[in-house]
Structure formats: structure tokens, C-alpha cells
Amino acid sequence: MSGTEERPVGIDDLLERVRAGYRRIGPRQAYDAARAGEALLVDIRYAALRERDGLIPGALVVERNELEWRLDPRGSHRAPEATSHDLHVVVICNEGYASSLAAESLHRLGLHRATDLVGGFQAWKAAGLPVTS
């Protein structure tokens, strides 16, 4: 291994490093921020999970493989909600793992207020927050 190559890192270590770069948000905080118009909730769960467990009312549904294209304010394929690099985005996956990596990717695009939901959709649901079928 040369001096310029990095050693491989395991997923648990990677998640720890990524999460150290921003402040994660809990279900009640996310709900309150979205209701106040201060945050955009973005559900990146795949269709089968959304169909099985339901949706968060008002959340923007964006498949994970389209996330960066849909939320880049400068992108030609951006969602109408992607208005600024200052947008407070809360990424939601099923249990709060994939969303951490997605939030870090949004940070690389300049969305410095991107975060993710601790515990994901399952924590949202367990907190008794609104879900539609």
C-alpha cells in the first residue's frame, strides 16, 4: 500500500465518521420543523417499504438513486422544492442508516443543512406521528 492510499473502512466506522459531520434530528423535531415550514422531509425508502408501511404526509418522495439530481438547486432535474443550498433537508430511510450516507452526499453538493432522521421511518411511526396508507 502506498502512502497515498487510504485503508479500507467498515460500514460502522464510516457511519460514525459521516454522522460526526452534522447534527442528526429526532422524529418529533423533524415533525415540528416540517409543520413550521422550516424543513423539507425527504423519504428515500423504496416503493415496497412505502407500500407496506405507509407515507409521511407532506414528505417529498425521492428514490435514493435520484436524490442528488432532485435536490441539487442548480440541477436541471431538480424538484421544485430544491430552491436553495440553505434548504434544511431531513432525509428519511427505513431505519436511519442509508439516510446518513445520503445526507453526507447532500453535504458534498453544498446542502450544508442536510441531516437525517434518527431511527428513520420506523422511529417516526413508533413516535405516533402521522402516517398515511
What is d(CA 31, CA 10) in angstroms, rounded to the nearest whole number?
A: 32
- Three-state SS for the chain is CCCCCCCCCCHHHHHHHHHCCCCCECHHHHHHHHHCCCCEEEECCCHHHHHHHCECCCCEECCHHHHHHHHCCCCCCCCCCCCCCCCCEEEECCCCCHHHHHHHHHHHCCCCCCEEECCHHHHHHHCCCCCEC
Instruction: Supply the pLDDT for residue 3.
Output: 59
Per-residue pLDDT of the chain (133 residues; tens, 9 = 90+): 455 677 888 999 999 999 999 999 999 999 999 999 999 999 999 999 999 999 999 999 999 999 999 999 999 999 999 999 999 999 999 999 999 999 999 999 999 999 999 999 999 999 999 999 8
What are residue 91's DSSP bridge partners? 42, 116
What is residue 1's predicted lDDT score, i.e. its pLDDT?
Answer: 47
Half-sphere exposure of residue 110: CA atoms within 13 angstroms, side-chain side? 10
The three grid cell numbers given for residue 113, joined into one nine-digit string? 443543512
Provide the pLDDT for residue 52: 97
Count how many Cα atoms sit within 13 Å of the Cα of residue 5 in the half-sphere of its side chain. 4
